[in-house]
Amino acid sequence: MKSFARVTFIFFSFQLAWAQNHDESVLKGKAVVSDVDLKGIYIINLRTEATTNTESEGFFTIKAAIGDTLMFSAIQIKGKKVVLTVKDFQTDLVLIPLEPMINRLDEVIVKQYKNINAVALGIIPAKAKQYTPAERKLRTASGDGFDENTDGTSGGSVGLDPLFNWMSGRTTMLKKELEVERKESLLQRLEAQFGVDYVVQKLKIPADYVKAFWYFVVEDSRFVRAFMAKNSAMTKFVLAELAAKYLELQKTEPN
């Protein structure tokens, strides 16, 4: 009988101690870590599975008891488990030091692969035509270059936009813009290939008229065909003829 009473006393004493040790209260704490966003750090009480998240400055509150284990985790920190002690509940604010998650690169090597480009990757065909800005605008407005409908059938239908562009005069405007762009490009190529000295010394065009002479030249279709065909002899022959013609025009123009 005495043995039974002793066992019963020990059992209830253990239960009372366990209950006292697990008397939950609200724990106020603050996560402490440098150079890291303190908001949103996940906290879980592993015994009760109660959870919470830290506020912008790392402050948090959670129900816990002495002996409970709190686990802290987030992308920006190293995970950490903290076993709560009596001392933690005797302070107004318990500080939890954490470590930032930092991935340091020992070395960065930048390699240039010259063979990797849009053609090699299959993004565009190897012999794809390169369009200027004016050419792209005109093709878009006129519907040129579309071979199929959106449903996969043939016929080249791209909606009513090309018709509206034609009726409003936008297509005509874009054609003129394309023509101007081509002439400007041709002028740059002529100036780069022949230079001012050639025009002044060989063709006898006054230096003040060189620019105007080039604008006169690019309007001649015979010269443009020869130049674009890279026929050097014909290009210089036609150029000489145009120079003589241009000088005659200058003589006949009224001062």
Q: Where are the domains of the chain?
A: 23-97, 133-252
pLDDT grade, residue 99 (50/70/90)? very high
pLDDT of residue 186: 80
CATH classification code of 23-97: 2.60.40.10
Parallel, antiparallel or unpaired: strands 25-32 and 69-74: unpaired
Chain centroid to Cα 86, Å, comes to: 54
Residue range 81-108: mean pLDDT, rounded: 86
Please give the helix or strand (H or E) that residue 249 lies within, else none.
Answer: helix 232-252
pLDDT of residue 236: 87
Q: Quick check: 19 pLDDT over 60?
A: no
Q: Using alpha carbons, list the distances in angstroms from residue 77 to 34, 39, 99, 102, 232.
A: 10, 11, 6, 8, 72
Parallel, antiparallel or unpaired: strands 25-32 and 94-97: parallel
Residue scoring higher pLDDT (106 or 80): 80
pLDDT of residue 52: 94
**pTM recorded for the entire structure:** 0.37
What is the DSSP track for 7-69? HHHHHHHHHHHHHHHT--EEEEEEEE-TTS--TT-EEEETTT--EEE--TTSEEEEEE-TT-E
Q: What are the pLDDT digits (tens) for 165-215?
A: 555 566 666 666 667 677 788 878 888 888 888 888 888 889 888 888 888
Q: Quick check: 161 pLDDT over 70?
A: no
Q: What are the pLDDT digits (tens) for 25-66?
A: 999 999 999 888 899 999 999 999 999 999 989 999 999 999
Residue range 230-241: mean pLDDT, rounded: 87
- Nearest to 54, CA basis, from 70, 68, 42: 42
